[in-house]
Structure 1
């Protein structure tokens, strides 16, 4: 009688573990993986910024990149007005003749 109860308990434990693995797999496929893909695309976009590119910052400021270093960009937003921004503050790059994704 105890062996049947032990087998039922072991089977229940195994099914619980399988259920947790399936839930984690679904969670990873629906949430984590797409987020990683978006991060890679954003990093690729930020790495492709070059002088002369027109950009929009996360604050909505439009300007042209006139200088850059590894972590920052110098963006001209008006005549004789240049502002230094972190690269991560760029929301999108606007290139002439190329459709830019609307974010």
Structure 2
């Protein structure tokens, strides 16, 4: 009786298995990887490339913001160390990699600081 039950569970192998069944199972995973690549990985690589290029093009007098939110004007660049002037006669040194963005000339960030000094 036990052998009869065991024989019923074994059954015949299902047709359509083999290599094509495995490939059909992998297709959704490959498609998900391609989608992730174009939606997540590639845009991040583009951002990193643009940030690296921005850091290479920094020069004296550029207005920047650090990743900590400190606004300043570049006074001196020496290797990976950037000297920023954040107020009159107030200079700090930051790592070049911590500069997150350049501030456009038209932004009012620096104008507001200058107005607050007068008033």
- Give the alignment's TM-score, normalised by structure 1: 0.80
> Is the Cα–Cα contact under 8 Å of residues 54 and 95 in structure 1 kept in the other structure?
yes
Counterpart of 2:85 in structure 1 is 76
C-alpha displacement at 1:95, in angstroms?
Answer: 4.1
- The number of aligned residues is 96
Identify the range of structure 1 (51-60 vs 28-37) with the bigger mean alpha-carbon deviation.
Answer: 51-60
Runs of 4+ in 1 over 3 A off after TM superposition: none
Counterpart of 2:115 in structure 1 is none
Q: Mark the runs of 5 or more structure 2 residues left unpaired by the alignment.
A: 1-11, 108-119
CA offsets, 1:11-47, max 9 Å, x none?
A: 2211112222111111111110011011111111111
Residue correspondence of structure 1 range 36-47 to structure 2 within 5 A: 36-47=45-56
Is 1:90 the counterpart of 2:99? The answer is yes
- Give the alignment's TM-score, normalised by structure 2: 0.70
CA RMSD of aligned residues (A): 2.0
Is 1:24 the counterpart of 2:29? The answer is no
User: Which of residues 27, 41, 49 in structure 1 aligns to 2:58?
Assistant: 49
> Is the Cα–Cα contact under 8 Å of residues 55 and 94 in structure 1 kept in the other structure?
yes
Give the SS at the match of 1:51: coil
Rg (Cα) greater in structure: 2
> Is the Cα–Cα contact under 8 Å of residues 53 and 95 in structure 1 kept in the other structure?
no
Q: Mark the runs of 5 or more structure 1 residues left unpaired by the alignment.
A: 99-103
Is 1:34 the counterpart of 2:43? The answer is yes
